[in-house]
């Protein structure tokens, strides 16, 4: 059974700035979590990134915005940026750090920011043609933990404690109903009828109904069993810059539960737990505990403290004792 084509990887080495890429080539979506130093990313990829989820705007998570902007100039596009206040102000200030007097000759670039702010989602739009003025679009009650959703996937968030409030994210590619390619040919369907049938079968409410094809009635059960299969979705989570506390742990476990891959920071060795707590970060042991409790299939750790230099092995070896399927 074919899995959805989802390519995901860290932007940098584990001892460098955090950041995660999710490429959904078939959908034309290129997603970036955090914009620390992104100089290693291919500039064609940077041009294509159209969704950005920011955990918080500490420098190591946001300094790459200039590099991103520079590589985006020259191609008309819209980029959606998600996060927590004061993200819109941070984006605006970055953009206002430059002079935009020749914008009439530039292809249009629009940054749409959606930020969580005290129980509200606030929407702003910053348009190159308006010299990136910060236009307030609307606000709505944030009564859901879904910050972005389309037909194929959604991104959920949790608000976590890092001495400031920050966002943890989980990307969920949805289960999809697909036709068995060889079998479906047996039905006398034409053109748009395939889509209509698929939509009808996707809706559980039609369970007791029948579908008419060329004058003949077929039951929902029969069509679903004979001609379709479910392509399993995928869950990828991204958690970084959090203190170890009961409250954080509960929220993280709840968000990332059952992830196929959990990308989670593990900046400190277990023996340095006091330092970790002082600077609001996790240790290997704490990260492993979260992964275990959340029953994730695989753990990928990153954001190692600079105090250990480039020796990533020591941290990896330690975490392996607590959670074997880690890299």
Shortest distance, CB of residue 247 to Zn ion, whole angstroms? 18
Nearest residue (CB) to Zn ion, 197 versus 290 = 290
Query: In the bound complex, what is the minimum distance in angstroms from residue 242's beta carbon to Zn ion?
Result: 9
C-alpha distances in angstroms, 259 versus 53, 156, 327? Answer: 18, 13, 15
Give the residue with the Cβ less far from Zn ion, 165 or 200. 165
CB of 57 to Zn ion, least distance (A): 9
CB of 61 to Zn ion, least distance (A): 6
Q: Which is nearer to Zn ion, 16 or 172 (CB)?
A: 16
Nearest approach in angstroms of CB 306 to Zn ion is 11
Report the residue number, 23 or 241, with the smaller CB distance to Zn ion: 241
Nearest Cα residue to 170 out of 254, 85, 288: 254
- In the complex, which residues of this chain contact Zn ion (CB under 5 A)? 58, 60, 241
- Rank residues 60 and 260 by Cβ distance to Zn ion and give the closer one: 60
Hey, what are 318's tokens? 């330690």
Select 227 or 302, whichever has its Cβ closest to Zn ion.
Answer: 302
Residue number with the smallest Cβ distance to Zn ion: 58
What's the CA angle centered on 57, arms 51 and 59, to 5 degrees? 115
In the complex, least distance from residue 36 CB atom to Zn ion, rounded to whole angstroms: 8
For the chain, the maximum distance between any two Cα atoms, rounded to a whole number of angstroms, is: 73
* DSSP secondary structure, 57-74, as one string: --GGGTTTHHHHHHHHTT
Q: Which of 260/265 has CB closer to Zn ion? A: 265
Can you tell me the distance from the alpha carbon of 292 to that of 318, in angstroms, rounded to the nearest whole number? 15
Give the Cα-Cα-Cα angle 100, 104, 107 (nearest 5 degrees): 95
Cα 75 from chain centroid?
Answer: 23
From start to end of the chain, where are the E strands?
7-10, 20-24, 29-33, 51-53, 77-84, 109-117, 120-127, 133-141, 146-149, 153-161, 165-173, 176-179, 210-213, 216-219, 228-231, 234-239, 261-265, 298-302
CA nearest neighbour of 57 among 233, 279, 212, 240: 240
Kindly report the length of the chain.
327
We find the least distance from the C-beta atom of residue 166 to Zn ion, in angstroms, to be 7
């Amino acid at each position: 059974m074919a899995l959805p084509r989802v390519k995901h990887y860290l932007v940098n080495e584990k001892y460098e700035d955090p950041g995660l890429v999710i490429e959904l080539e078939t959908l034309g979506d290129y997603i970036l979590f955090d914009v620390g130093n992104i100089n290693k990313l291919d500039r064609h990829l940077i041009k294509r990134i159209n969704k950005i989820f920011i955990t918080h705007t500490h420098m190591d998570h946001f300094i790459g915005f200039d590099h991103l902007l520079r590589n985006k100039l020259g191609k008309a596009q819209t980029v959606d940026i998600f996060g927590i206040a004061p993200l819109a102000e941070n984006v605006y200030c970055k953009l206002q750090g430059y002079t935009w007097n020749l914008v009439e000759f530039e292809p249009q670039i629009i940054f749409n920011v959606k930020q969580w702010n005290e129980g509200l989602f606030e929407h702003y739009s910053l348009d190159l043609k308006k010299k990136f003025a910060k236009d307030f679009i609307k606000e709505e009650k944030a009564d859901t933990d879904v910050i972005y959703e389309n037909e194929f996937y959604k991104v959920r968030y949790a608000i976590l404690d890092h001495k400031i409030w920050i966002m943890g994210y989980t990307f969920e590619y949805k289960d999809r109903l697909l036709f068995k390619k060889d079998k479906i040919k047996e039905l006398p369907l034409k053109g748009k009828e395939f889509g209509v049938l698929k939509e009808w079968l996707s809706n559980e409410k039609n369970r007791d109904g029948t579908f008419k094809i060329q004058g003949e009635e077929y039951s929902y059960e029969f069509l679903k069993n004979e001609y379709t299969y479910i392509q399993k979705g995928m869950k990828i989570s991204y958690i970084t810059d959090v203190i170890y506390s009961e409250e954080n742990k509960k929220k993280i476990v709840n968000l990332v539960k059952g992830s196929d891959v959990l990308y989670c920071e593990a900046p400190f060795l277990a023996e340095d737990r006091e330092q970790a707590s002082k600077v609001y970060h996790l240790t290997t042991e704490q990260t492993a505990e979260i992964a275990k409790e959340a029953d994730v299939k695989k753990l990928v750790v990153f954001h190692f403290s600079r105090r250990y230099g480039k020796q990533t092995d020591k941290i990896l070896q330690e975490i392996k004792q607590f959670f074997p399927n880690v890299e």
